[in-house]
Amino acid sequence: MDDIYEWLFDQYALPQMQDIAGGQDQVLDRLAGALRLSRNGRRSLMDIADNMRVQWGTEAFVLGLRMGLGLCGPRPRETDCGRLSYLFP
């Protein structure tokens, strides 16, 4: 990631993800108790959940950032590519 994207992620996305993670951890603890998982099984369950949370959170952040930049970015004008218009029917 570029430095600005890392900063945006750290400042905006990460705090939200940490808030969500707290509630999810409680649910995972109850699930592990209901399944009567061993200590190693609980650790594996938490590792899988953390991995998915980071991957999905980062991907959602990047997609949202790209969409935001696309919506707010400059739009090409019709005259910007006038010389190339003869290539396309």
The predicted-structure confidence for 36-81, as pLDDT tens digits, reads as follows: 999 999 889 888 888 887 788 777 888 888 777 777 777 767 666 6
The pLDDT confidence band at residue 18, using thresholds 50, 70 and 90, is: confident
CB burial readout 60-76, b (16+ within 10 A) else e: ebeeebeeeeeeeeeee
Higher pLDDT, 46 or 86: 46
At 78 the pLDDT is 67
How far is Cα 61 from Cα 64, in angstroms, rounded to an integer?
5
Task: Indicate whether this model's pTM tops 0.95.
Answer: no
Burial group, residue 5, by CB count within 10 angstroms (0-12, 13-18, 19+): middle
At 40 the pLDDT is 92
How far is Cα 49 from Cα 25, in angstroms, rounded to an integer?
9
Q: Which residue has the tokens 């696309």?
A: 70
